[in-house]
Amino acid sequence: MPVVDVDCTRAPAFGLHERFDRADTDWHAHAKHQLLYACRGSMRVYVERQMWLLPSGRAAWVPAGVRHRVVCSRLELQTVYLPTRRVREAPAAPVVFDAPPLAREMLAHAVRMGPADPPTPKARSFFSTLAYLCLEWMRDPLPLCLPRAESAALQRAMDWTLQNLGARATAAAAARAAGMSTRTMARRFAVETGTTWRRFAHDARIIEATHRLSVPGAHVGDVAASLGFESLSAFSRAFKSALGRPPSSMRPRAPS
């Protein structure tokens, strides 16, 4: 996704501001830690057997050395790359978290210091402070993650489910779409992901809700109905139980 070789730059730490109509990267890894912030739009970050959703107004931490793939459309993105020596006790796995106002202001300033800029004392101090604060912000992560399948058959069932998250989505329908019996699909879910289709579909609905709610003008009731929830109150309870906050908390934030 980056237009520069982020591991061979003059600046050891720097920021980028990019816009994408559509992008799908190959699997890759960086020698630097990566901090992503979706100003507008959303993106999916695939890491090994997991898929993370990054809605607008939220940030994601991708540790150095972790292979990942990014898929997005109509995205405005701010990215900061940090050398590993700048971050002590960094998480070993990706983390998605709310970007507080201070984070958004610092990310907006970080993109003014690009990969070709000299590593000035001011820049070193700024990025060291940003790295330290990231550790604080990541202590309240958002569970916007789904498991990925090992087999092609189960992946077909997952893909069908993700494309049919309304009321008509059932385990039997997902199994038929994947060419399996319901019993076989249940067994593969247990073996390959350690969860059930019902849990997968529920979590997928909540994660998709965070994306739909991040669209300007979205209404909570409309999102709940489109994802097959029986009532607004049922949706609100499920959302708060999963994320610890009401659906209204996912409203879009003005970019810094």
pLDDT at 1: 46
Are residues 105 and 176 part of one domain? no
Are residues 95 and 29 part of one domain? yes
Are residues 222 and 199 part of one domain? yes
Q: What are the DSSP E strand ranges found in 99-149?
A: 145-147
Contacts with 203 (C-beta within 8 Å, 6 or more apart), sequence order: 146, 242
Contacts with 10 (C-beta within 8 Å, 6 or more apart), sequence order: 115, 116, 117, 118, 119
Exposed/middle/buried for residue 13 (C-beta within 10 Å: 0-12, 13-18, 19+): buried
Residue 31 lies inside a defined structural domain of this protein: yes
**pLDDT tens-digit map of 123-155:** 999 999 999 999 999 988 888 889 988 899 998
Tell me the residue range of the domain where 156 lies. Answer: 149-250
Are residues 158 and 133 part of one domain? no
Place of tokens 């607008």: 56
**pLDDT tens-digit map of 200-240:** 999 999 988 987 887 778 899 999 999 999 999 999 999 99
**pLDDT tens-digit map of 18-29:** 998 888 888 999
Are residues 122 and 38 part of one domain? yes
Contacts with 132 (C-beta within 8 Å, 6 or more apart), sequence order: none
Domain boundary (102, 137, 172) is at 137
Are residues 157 and 80 part of one domain? no
CATH number of the domain to which 79 belongs: 2.60.120.280
Contact 158, 201 (CB under 8 A): no
Are residues 75 and 22 part of one domain? yes
Are residues 239 and 186 part of one domain? yes
Place of tokens 């090994």: 48
Number of domains within the chain: 2
Are residues 208 and 156 part of one domain? yes
pLDDT at 251: 67
Are residues 162 and 117 part of one domain? no
Domain boundary (77, 111, 137) is at 137
pLDDT at 256: 44
Confidence band, pLDDT 50/70/90 cuts, at residue 163: confident
Contact 94, 52 (CB under 8 A): yes
Residue 2 lies inside a defined structural domain of this protein: no
Confidence band, pLDDT 50/70/90 cuts, at residue 157: very high
Are residues 107 and 27 part of one domain? yes
